[in-house]
Chains A and B, each alone.
Chain A
Amino acid sequence: DAGVIQSPRHEVTEMGQEVTLRCKPISGHNSLFWYRQTMMRGLELLIYFNNNVPIDDSGMPEDRFSAKMPNASFSTLKIQPSEPRDSAVYFCASSFHLGAGSNNEQFFGPGTRLTVL
């Protein structure tokens, strides 16, 4: 299995530009998570989907952030317009969620390092 795939691995953009981060979860997984990692705040959950439906987006910082999952094998996280404080590493993770009491191990992608100048 190829694991969770994220693209691009690195993104450098200027303030005000639109940024789109992409994620392909592990085939067969039904849950997908977007995390943001910064030195100051550590790893934060932004949003997660179950069966392509957003379940909880309370971690999305502002309206400038949006996430979609049009099908089971693809998700995007978009920032428009981007700001320097959005600079961070963004991780996508996926899992097969059987139910509350089950393993549901999350597998992480390699992350996208975003720099907004």
Chain B
Amino acid sequence: AQTVTQSQPEMSVQEAETVTLSCTYDTSESDYYLFWYKQPPSRQMILVIRQEAYKQQNATENRFSVNFQKAAKSFSLKISDSQLGDAAMYFCAYRSATGAGSYQLTFGKGTKLSVIP
């Protein structure tokens, strides 16, 4: 079974600065997807960014980018120019690209990000 580990329960960043959230995962599969979800106080789960394992290029969405290291099974999220609205819980998630596992998301325990004005 796949596992996702987020080793930083809480982090803080100064507004306008850059912060990196860590995520590692364990899998024996070669084809899969990785995700970062944001959960603000409203509880709504919002997809921030997605990475396909077969792609070597790191995904980028505006101020959000990832550092995907497949051999190391590492998938970190970098938030540049942090804004107050970025304050939230961030969840790393894994999904297989094959078979029955392709339906299921496996989540890490989350990292609570605070943004300091």
A positions within 8 Å CB-CB of B: 31, 33, 42-43, 45, 48, 50, 55-56, 89, 91, 93, 97, 99-101, 103-106, 108, 110-111, 113
Do residues A48 and B110 form an inter-chain contact, with CB atoms below 8 A?
A: no
Q: Least Cβ distance of B67 to chain A in Å?
A: 22
| Among listed B18-26, B44-52, B55-63, B68-76, interface-contacting one | B44-52
**Contact of A56 with B103 at beta-carbon distance under 8 Å, contacts A89-B43, A100-B97 already known:** yes
Please indicate the chain A residues that have their CB under 8 angstroms from the CB of B45 in the complex: 91, 93, 108
How far is A45 from B31 in the complex, measured between Cα atoms in Å? Answer: 21
Q: Interface on B for A, CB 8 Å cutoff?
A: 31, 42-47, 50, 91, 95-100, 102-110
Q: Quick check: B108 and A42 within 8 Å, CB to CB?
A: yes
Tell me if B97 and A101 are in contact (CB < 8 A). yes
Closest A residue to B109 by CB, please name it.
Answer: A42
Number of A-B contacts (CB under 8 A): 52
CB within 8 A of A42: which of B47, B98, B107? B107
Shortest B62–chain A CB gap in Å is 18
Q: A93-B45, A97-B102 are in contact. List 14 more A-B contacts (CB 8 A).
A: A33-B105, A42-B107, A42-B108, A42-B110, A48-B103, A48-B104, A55-B100, A100-B102, A101-B97, A103-B50, A105-B47, A108-B44, A108-B46, A110-B43
User: Which of chain B's residues have a CB closer than 8 A to the CB of A89?
Assistant: 43
Residues of A with C-beta under 8 A to B100 = 55-56
Contacts of B31 in A (CB 8 A): 101
A100→B95 CA distance, assembly (Å): 10
B34 to chain A, nearest CB (A): 13
Chain A residues lying within 8 Å of B42, measured Cβ to Cβ, are 110
| Chain B residues near A93 (CB-CB < 8 A) | 45
Most B CB contacts (10 A, CB to CB) among A33, A43, A103 go to A43
